[in-house]
Amino acid sequence: MATNSEPSQAQGQGVQVHGLFKNYESAGVAVSILRDLELTVQPGEAVCITGPSGSGKSTLLYLISSLDRPDAGEVHLLGTDILSLNEKEQAQFRNRHIGFVFQDHDLLPQLSVVENVLLPAIAGEGVTNETEQLAEKLLSRVGLHDRLKSLPAQLSGGERQRVAVCRALINKPELVLADEPTGNLDPATAKVIGDLLLELSREQNTMLLCVTHSIELAARFPRHLVLEDGKLVPASQASLSAIKL
């Protein structure tokens, strides 16, 4: 089924979210945050989602990645019903097929730049010469070829976020989820990180799903959706208040 926020796509490809509901309890009352949400992301597509604070943008990413469970609905990634997997299988699936970029980079302070980038490989099938070369290539690509042995504390905020982008791509995932990746950065650095995410996802033909408050970042994406009243709508159809956040 296709909606105005979901182009048609053959079953088994990309990301397919159907009839997603998520409620939270507040003061003993169930509050509905996502309501019958539909979303499809095609292979290689870059999609940005904006919406007011508390609208459920980050929650949606956690549901898609199986880090949280919906109250109802389906999530299919690359033809796999990810909600039907057990916890171990979900963790293995995430590590192999999904890369994450968070607002606060989440680098391990005791590890060097290149060690942080290699973490998903270490947690997966192990580090090989190929993955080491890819880590160095990615870090060189983002201008950090001379900081491989540096610790996160020795980097600027923008440099740490570049490392996080490289880490998200080290396993060559089919899907990258970015949760407010430029939220803590100054405008100039935010533009650099946004450009890197889009450029690197295009180079690796990776699906990119980004949630952000930044209209400037959203404007650079080929597809911009707005989370409004628990559902996704094209930015062109969203209310002005929702788009302006």
What pLDDT digit, counting tens, does each position of 106-160 carry? 899 999 999 999 999 988 778 899 999 999 999 998 889 999 999 999 999 889 9
Q: What is the pLDDT of residue 151?
A: 96
Kindly report, residue by residue over 14-23, the tens digit of the pLDDT: 999 999 999 9
Among 23, 11, 124, which Cα is nearest to 76's?
11
Name the fold adopted by 15-240. Answer: Rossmann fold (3.40.50)
> Which residues have CB under 8 Å from 202's CB, separation 6+?
44, 46
User: Is residue 150 within 8 Å of 113, Cβ to Cβ?
Assistant: yes
Question: Which residue carries 């940005």 as its tokens?
Answer: 48
Among 206, 240, 205, 207, which Cα is nearest to 226's?
240
Q: What is the pLDDT of residue 231?
A: 93
The angle subtended at Cα 139 by Cα 136 and Cα 144, nearest 5°, is 120
The secondary structure of the chain, three-state, reads CCECCECCCCCCCCEEEEEEEEEEEECCEEEEEEEEEEEEECCCCEEEEECCCCCCHHHHHHHHCCCCCCCEEEEEECCEEHHHCCHHHHHHHHHHHEEEEECCCCCCCCCCHHHHHHHHHHHCCCCCHHHHHHHHHHHHHCCCCCCCCCCHHHCCHHHHHHHHHHHHHCCCCCEEEEECCCCCCCHHHHHHHHHHHHHHHHHCCCEEEEECCCHHHHCCCCEEEEEECCEEEEHHHCCHHHHHC
Kindly report, residue by residue over 155-196, the tens digit of the pLDDT: 998 899 899 999 999 999 999 999 998 888 888 888 888 988
User: Is residue 120 within 8 Å of 170, Cβ to Cβ?
Assistant: yes
Among 69, 135, 123, which Cα is nearest to 96's?
123
| Residue 7 pLDDT level (bands cut at 50, 70, 90) | very low
Q: What is the rounded CA–CA span in Å between residue 238 and residue 66?
A: 27
| Residue 203 pLDDT level (bands cut at 50, 70, 90) | confident
> Which residues have CB under 8 Å from 217's CB, separation 6+?
48, 182, 190, 194, 210
Kindly report, residue by residue over 65-79, the tens digit of the pLDDT: 999 999 999 999 999
pLDDT average, residue stretch 233-238: 84
Q: What is the pLDDT of residue 145?
A: 92
Question: Please, which residues bridge with residue 85 across strands?
Answer: none
The angle subtended at Cα 68 by Cα 112 and Cα 202, nearest 5°, is 55
| Residue 2 pLDDT level (bands cut at 50, 70, 90) | very low
